Structure 1
Amino acid sequence: MQPPSRRAFLTLGLLTLTACTGGHGSDPTAPGGDRRRPDPDEPVRLRAVAATDTLLAGYDALLPQAPQLQPLRAEVAQHRAALQPTTTTATTPTTAPTAPPPTLAALAALERQTAQSRLADLGAASPQLARLLASVSAAGVRHAVALGDTAPSPAPTATPTAPGETATPFQDALSAEHAAIYGYGVVGARLPDDQQRTDARTALAAHQSRRDAWQRLLAATGATPAAAAAGYQLPFPVTDAPAATRLAAHLETRLTTVYADLVAAVPAPHRTAAADALRECALRAHHWGAAPTAFPGLPDTSTPTPAPTP
C-alpha cells in the first residue's frame, strides 16, 4: 500500500456525488408508444409517500397555533416530492388514516418514528433511492429534535463483515474519518474550556469510534485499512472560537456527503450502518450551526458546486 502523503486535503467534498435520478421513465420505443417500464422502487416509494402524508397532516393540524413550524413543514413537502413514484401519475396528498397529532410532542414522536421507518426500507430500495431515504431519515430526526424530542438516538447498527467488493467505499469513509479526527483536534484547541469544548470531545470520541469500526470491518476482509495522513490542510484559517465552530460544522457537513454516498455504494446489509453515520453527522452539523437542509448529504442543486482545491 502506498504510504500517505505528508499533506492531504481536509475538504471532504472531493468524493464525487452521483446525481439522484429517481428511476426509469417512459419508454417511447415500446409497443403502444407511452408504456412505462415497471419501477421496482414503486412499492417503497408509495410507502414512503403515505408516511409523509401522515406527517403533513400533523403539521397542517398544528400550523394555525404554531406558525413557526412552516419551515419544517416545507421540508417535509420537499421530501414528498422527491419520494414520489416516477412511473405513475403523481399522487395527491391523502388524509391520514389516524387523527393528526394534537401536540408538538406527538408530532416530534411521529417524526422520529417515520425517520426510523425509512431505514426499514433501505434493503428493498435501489442504491439511489436508499441514499435518498437515508437522507430524508436524517432530516426527520433533526425535525424531531427541533420539535423538542429528547429520546436517545438508537444504538448504532452493528456492521456485518463486508465482502471484498465493498472495500473501496469503506476505505473512503475511513479516510474521511481520519481527516475529521485531525480537524477536531484543531477545533478543541481553539474552543474555551466550557460546554463547547466538551461537545467537541464528545464528537471526537464518536469519530474515533466510527474510525475503529471501519478499520475492524476492513481488516476482517483481509484489506489493509487506510492510514491517517501526517497532516491535513484546513479549508480556512482557524484562529479563534467562532472559526473553530465553523470548522466543526464544515467537518460534519462534509461527512454527511461521504455517508450518503456510502449508503448507495454498499450492499443492502451495510446500508443501515452507513445511514446511522449520516444521521449522527447531520445532527452534529446542526448542533455546530450548519444551515439546515431538507436533504442532508445530497447536493444542493440551487447553488454551484465549488471546484476541489488542487
Structure 2
Amino acid sequence: MQPPSRRTFLALGLLLTGGALTACTDTPHQAPGSPAGDHNRPDPDEPVRRRALDATDALLAAYDALLPQAPQLQPLREDVARHRAALDTATPAPTPSTGAGASGAGTPGATASTTAAAAPTTAALASLERQTAQARLADLGAASPPLARLLASVSAAGVLHAVALGDAAPAAAAAPAPSTSASPSASTTASASAGGTAAPFQDALGAEHAAVYGYGVVGARLTDDGQRTAARTSLAAHQARRDAWQRLLAGSGATPDPAAAGYQLPFPVTDAASAGRLAAHLETRLTTVYADLVAAVATPQRPLAADALRESALRAHQWGAAPTAFPGITDAPAGTSTPTP
C-alpha cells in the first residue's frame, strides 16, 4: 500500500502507514508467525524488562504511600499499573496498599520503594517520576524495536506525570537534540545511510512540514496573547525539528522531501477554540510518528526520536489533548486502554 501523501497528513492524522513500522507493534514476547515453541527461548529483552519493572514497582510503592493523603493521584497510579502490565503481562501489578512500601516488599526494587514511601510528598513523587522516565531512555539502545517504542512512550508518560505533580524542572534530553547542532554527527548520518532508515526520517520530515503549516493556521485564529505566544514557540520548535531532519537526510546522501504547497486540515478551523484543538491534534499525531520512529531506526538514532516524542507529548498536554497512559501508541498494549483524543 502506498503511504498517503503529505497533503493528506492532517486529515488522516498519520503519515507513517508502511508495514515496516506497523510491524513494530507486535508484542515483544513472541515474534509474529514464529513457532509456538519459541516461547521457551530466552527473552533477549529480559534484562531491560526487569530493570523497567523494578523501577515501575518502586513508583507504585511511592504512589501507594501517598494515596491515603492524596487520593486524587489514583488516575496517575492507574497509568503506572498499566505501564507495568504492558512491560510484563505475565506478572500482575502490585495492588494499592496503605502500608508504606507494601507493594515493593520482596522485589529487587524494594529498597528504592521503601525510601520513596518513607517521605510521601508530592514533590518527592514528581522527582521519582522524572528520574524513572530518564532511566527508561537509558535502555533504548539495549531493547528490541517494539520494547524501545514502549519504553519511549512510557518515559514520555512519566514526564507528563511529573508535570502533573508540579515538577517544573526541564526534562533532560536522551541525547543532544538534532536542532542544537549545525549538522548531525558523523555516526548518526552514517548509520542513517547504512541502516536504510532514510524513509522513516523522510516520514518524520513530512510530519514536521505539515505541523509547520498547521501552526500557521493555528496562529492566525488565536486571539489570546498567551496562546499566540505558545503557538509561536511551538512553530519555532517544529521549524527547528524540520531543519534538523533535513540536515540529517542530506548528510546521509538522501534528498529531503520538500513541503507541499498546502495541507488538508482534519476539521474546519474558524476560531480560537478550533485552533487550539488543531494544535492538540498536530502534537498528538506527532507523538505517534515519533513513537514509530523509535522502533524504525538504528539504535544510535532512537534518542533523537524519543526526545521528539517527549516534546510533542508535552505540547499536546499544554494544548489540552486528552490524557493517555501511552503517548504515541494508539494500539495500546494488551491489558490497557488508551483514550483517543
Using the size of structure 2 for normalisation, the TM-score is: 0.81
- Which amino acid is the alignment partner of residue 62 of structure 2? G
* Alpha-carbon shift at residue 5 of structure 1 (Å): 7.8
Secondary structure at 2:167's aligned position in 1?
Answer: coil
CA contact (8 A) 1:42 1:85 kept: no
Q: How does 1:154-303 map to 2 (within 5 A)?
A: 154-155=172-173, 157-158=175-176, 159=178, 160-161=188-189, 162-164=191-193, 165-301=196-332
Q: How does 1:76-87 map to 2 (within 5 A)?
A: 76-84=80-88
In the alignment, structure 1 residue 62 sits paired with structure 2 residue 66: yes
| 5+ residue gaps, structure 2 | 95-102, 179-187
CA contact (8 A) 1:6 1:230 kept: no
**Matched-pair identity in %:** 72
| Structure 2 Cα separation of the partners of residues 215 and 156 of structure 1 | 21
CA contact (8 A) 1:24 1:37 kept: no
For residues 172-216 of structure 1, what are the alpha-carbon distances to aligned partners after superposition, in whole Å with 9 as ceiling and x for unaligned? 000000000000000000001410000000000000111111011
| Structure 1 Cα separation of the partners of residues 238 and 267 of structure 2 | 21
| Structure 1 Cα separation of the partners of residues 259 and 58 of structure 2 | 45
Partner of 2:43: 39
* Alpha-carbon shift at residue 7 of structure 1 (Å): 4.4
CA contact (8 A) 1:248 1:288 kept: yes
| Structure 2 Cα separation of the partners of residues 106 and 253 of structure 1 | 29
Partner of 2:111: 97
* Alpha-carbon shift at residue 152 of structure 1 (Å): 1.1
CA contact (8 A) 1:187 1:200 kept: yes
Partner of 1:115: 133
| Structure 1 Cα separation of the partners of residues 226 and 339 of structure 2 | 35
CA contact (8 A) 1:256 1:281 kept: yes
For residues 111-153 of structure 1, what are the alpha-carbon distances to aligned partners after superposition, in whole Å with 9 as ceiling and x for unaligned? 0000000000000000000000000000000000000001012
For residues 35-60 of structure 1, what are the alpha-carbon distances to aligned partners after superposition, in whole Å with 9 as ceiling and x for unaligned? 71111001111100000000001100
Secondary structure at 2:169's aligned position in 1?
Answer: coil
| Structure 2 Cα separation of the partners of residues 235 and 28 of structure 1 | 43
Partner of 2:165: 147
Which structure is higher in helix share? 2
The structure 1 residue matched to 2:52, chosen from 31, 48, 52, is 48
- Which amino acid is the alignment partner of residue 45 of structure 1? R
| Structure 1 Cα separation of the partners of residues 36 and 331 of structure 2 | 31
Partner of 1:308: none
| 5+ residue gaps, structure 1 | 306-310
Describe the shift of the 1:6–1:80 C-alpha distance in structure 2 as closer, same or farther (beyond 3 A). closer
Partner of 2:30: 24
* Alpha-carbon shift at residue 27 of structure 1 (Å): 6.3
RMSD, aligned α-carbons: 2.4
Describe the shift of the 1:116–1:304 C-alpha distance in structure 2 as closer, same or farther (beyond 3 A). closer
CA contact (8 A) 1:136 1:296 kept: yes
